[in-house]
Structure 1
Amino acid sequence: MVDVDFFGNFDLASAAIWMFWLFFALLIFYLQTENMREGYPLQDDDGGEALNQGPFPVPGDKTFLLRDGRGKLTVPSGQRGDRAKLALQRTAVAAGSPYVPTGDPMVDGVGPASWAPRKDHPELDAHGHVKIKPISQLPDFHVSAGIDPRGKAVVSGDDEVIGRIIDMWVDIPEALVRLLVVDLNPEGSGQTRLIPINFTKIKANRVNVRSLYAHNFAGIPGIKSDDQITLLEEEKIMAYFGGGTLYADPARLEPQI
């Protein structure tokens, strides 16, 4: 048509800003639903599916190919539910009431001793190699600074000598010590356990472990292999020591002043 401009009365700036808001809203919706692939659908305190799943719908299944030939993972429907029955009891009928352990919390893995069902295979580095290995099997590694804990006595939270350190496990890519190996018999019985180094204080003549008492060390979760530790095994060991900070002694459950 003559003398008629198509964009004569069309506000391009307004259209651009509205297109941006629409794009931004769709982006938020996409990111939020993708974020809901882990931990959903939500559950109530009794382990049933919660009535209110939030304002966003649970996304449909997506299958991921895992690296290093470790199969496939489908989420959210393929999430593990092997910890649905826990040794806990609600203290009141009201929703949100605290739970108390019904057995041995450090063995049952509840409260501070709780653990997540991580994969039961070793953690790998970017090249597909096992990350955490004993320093005794790594000829290129040695202690270059600080105190070498090997050969030192291990003293528990109740001031009992429970064994001695015989080895260390190293995170190879990070070049740091992650775990210490303790022989529970100072004479060398071969009964060993792993101690996370962040639960220790290394002294000149001993290694202090305040979170556990002497009778707790035999219950530290073991590992299947002598030269590697899986993600699940590491998770359970860390949880056991974390639980000991509260459950190793009944007096620790009382108020502290």
Structure 2
Amino acid sequence: MVATFFGEFDLASLTLWLFYGFFALLIFYIQRENMREGYPLENDDGTESANQGPFPVPSDKTFELQHGRGSLTVPSGQRPDRDDIALRQTSVNNGFPFEPTGDPMVDGVGPASWANRRDVPELDAKGHPKIVPMSAIEAFSVAAGRDPRGLPVQGGDGEIVGAISDLWIDEPEQMVRYLEMTLDPAYGEGTRLVPLTLAKIKSDRVKIHSIYGKHFNNVPKIASPRQVTLLEEDKISAYYAGGKLYADERRLEPQI
């Protein structure tokens, strides 16, 4: 008998090695795609790191954005890093902590830091701003739970700084994202937003534990009374979250 090629060839072994090769290429591809944001790596002082890792930075890829918002090219076309960081190094070596040089809540550093996101509102599938005030949407009302509108706002130090005047709704998700408060003239001017997750609604007041009365005037404002941008959202949330550590010097110490 004349033996054929496949009569002595291990097809099962070939299949296994083809799978190994495919899986290795898949890992390589996924890792490079994962490097489209945040690369090339930088040292703590902002200089480019000498060690970029075992995988090369991917070549540029351009994405067309929805709703006429242009295009985005990554990794080279990323939004620039903030250049106004009010921090100083505590050591010349990488990996050591930085310390604030001013008011960290106002400067947006440490726990109060924010990302340099696009200064445009997040849109729904129809191209409309997702988060809008309830007063601008007739179809929405408070159907369950406690309606906080009209309740006084109390800071973490017990000061009454204003009152809740509106709710900001994530329309597609049908949920409240922010409370809008009108400040008392003694604590600032106009209105401010507070993330619902950082406010506690009680029967007779809305308590905001993270910041004190003196801090409310510096809460980042929004440019439009009808929409909030991605950048504004990041700054607002960062300010309140930073107060968890920076609003009071006693919070800087270990809590037991």
Letter aligned with residue 57 of structure 1: P
CA distance in 1, matches of 2:233, 2:46: 26
CA contact 1:164–1:186 (8 Å) conserved in 2:
no
CA distance in 2, matches of 1:177, 1:3: 78
Structure 1 residue 129 displacement after superposition: 1.7
Q: Please state if 1:106 is matched with 2:84.
A: no
CA contact 2:189–2:217 (8 Å) conserved in 1:
no
CA contact 1:211–1:248 (8 Å) conserved in 2:
yes
State the partner residue of 1:171: 170
Q: CA RMSD for the aligned pairs?
A: 1.5
Structure 1 residue 186 displacement after superposition: 7.3
**Residue pairs, 1:62-73, within 5 angstroms:** 62-73=61-72
**Residue pairs, 1:64-83, within 5 angstroms:** 64-83=63-82
State the partner residue of 1:226: 225
State the partner residue of 1:123: 122
CA contact 1:47–1:84 (8 Å) conserved in 2:
no
Identity of aligned residues (%): 60
CA spacing shift, 1:204–1:186, aligned 2, 3 Å: farther
Mark the runs of 5 or more structure 1 residues left unpaired by the alignment: none
Q: Please state if 1:206 is matched with 2:210.
A: no
Count of aligned positions: 255
Deviates more, 1:5-14 or 1:132-141: 5-14
Structure 1 residue 251 displacement after superposition: 1.7
State the partner residue of 2:131: 132
What whole-Å deviation, never above 9, does each CA across 1:19-46 have from its counterpart, x for those lacking one?
A: 1100110011001101100111111111
SS across alignment from 1:162:
strand
CA contact 2:79–2:117 (8 Å) conserved in 1:
no
State the partner residue of 1:191: 190
What whole-Å deviation, never above 9, does each CA across 1:92-150 have from its counterpart, x for those lacking one?
A: 23321111101111111110001111111111112222111110111111111111110
CA contact 1:88–1:99 (8 Å) conserved in 2:
yes
State the partner residue of 1:248: 247
Structure 1 residue 85 displacement after superposition: 4.4
Mark the runs of 5 or more structure 2 residues left unpaired by the alignment: none
CA contact 2:210–2:247 (8 Å) conserved in 1:
yes
